Amino acid sequence: MLAKRSATLPCRSAAAKPVVRVPASRGRLQVACSSHAKFFVGGNWKCNGSVASVRTLVDELNAGSVPKGVEVVCSPPYIYIDYVMQHLDAQKFALAAQNCWISGNGAFTGEVSAEQLADFGVPWVILGHSERRALCGETNEVVGKKSSHALAAGLGVIACVGETLEQRNGGAMWTVLDAQMKALVDEIKDWSKVVVAYEPVWAIGTGVVATPEQAQEVHARLRAFCAKHLGAAVADKLRIIYGGSVNDANCAELALQEDIDGFLVGGASLKGPAFIKICQSGAAKAQP
């Protein structure tokens, strides 16, 4: 059921400043940071794709129309980043890596540093994705330290948090989310280039999307946590995006929720037309 909406979108804070217009990014390294929430859509391609499919996807994305006020980043596997950087329309899409190392360059076989990403012109990195937490043993502390290091290197960070079904059903959801957020709060000093992605693990790749009410409840709670620890001004500006089985059929209803500032999309980001529709669902909240 759709949330009650007025013709104008709700303002999170009575004291919210007027929208600050930010010029569209012309360079790969510019992370557009407005002083007001700007709808943000990330496409996390995960470990998917081939030379042929990436070429097709890039062509599909370039053919699509993205509302000007919606910020979109695509996150290919490392090996395809160069191709995507050369061919994806930079006026519509920026790039994100799916991970980076916790410190600078050095003897860390198989890793890529935040400094290298910045050097190569990749402006964003996804950190703390549940797949890295679960499959690669990344703890809250590691995610917090990676985030602060990436920010210091000049990247924007999409920091992921989320509970498992067992944690939700067992009543541990808020404890888990608070601990994940606290680790970020402890390490991150400047939140202007941070996007928080709420991704309930039970919704990732399952086809079971959180209801708009479930997502809104958690997003509002995450924002309240940030207001308590970082102040209302930071919390109000922070983009909190939802991820977990978002597709072109369910995005519009989710996008209407007051505290949903965008999406982190997995499977549907591999289909150009569907991903474009998801980007377009943010048009109502787009900042010019």
Active site residues: 129, 199
Shortest reach from residue 146's CB to ligand G3H, in Å: 16
Residue with nearest beta carbon to ligand G3H = 266
Whole-number minimum distance, CB 35 to ligand G3H, in Å?
Answer: 26
Euclidean distance between CA atoms 2 and 272, whole angstroms: 26
Q: Specify the residue for token string 């309930």.
A: 200
Answer whether 244's CB lies under 8 Å from 199's CB: yes
CB 117 to ligand G3H: min, Å = 18
Distance (Å, whole) CA 276 – CA 65: 7
Nearest residue (CB) to ligand G3H, 71 versus 199 = 199
Task: Return the ∠ at Cα 195 (arms to 191 and 201), rounded to 5°.
Answer: 130
Closest CA to 70 of 40, 33, 45: 40
CB of 129 to ligand G3H, least distance (A): 6
Site residues, ligand G3H (CB under 6 A):
44, 129, 199, 204-205, 243-246, 264-268
- Spatial neighbors of 110 by CB under 8 A, at least 6 apart, are none
User: Which H/E stretch holds residue 196?
Assistant: strand 194-198
Nearer to ligand G3H, 60 or 234 (CB): 60
Pairwise CA distance, residues 109 & 105, whole Å = 10
Q: 120 exposed, middle or buried (CB, 10 Å; 0-12, 13-18, 19+)? A: middle
What minimum distance in Å lies between the beta carbon of 144 and ligand G3H? Answer: 19
Please state, in angstroms and rounded to a whole number, the distance separating the CA atoms of residues 214 and 42.
Answer: 20
Q: Which is nearer to ligand G3H, 242 or 287 (CB)?
A: 242
Closer residue to ligand G3H in complex, CB, 12/209: 209
Q: Among residues 205 and 231, whose Cβ is nearest to ligand G3H?
A: 205
Say whether 139 sits in a helix, a strand or coil: coil
Name the residue among 220, 219, 212 with its Cα closest to residue 246: 212
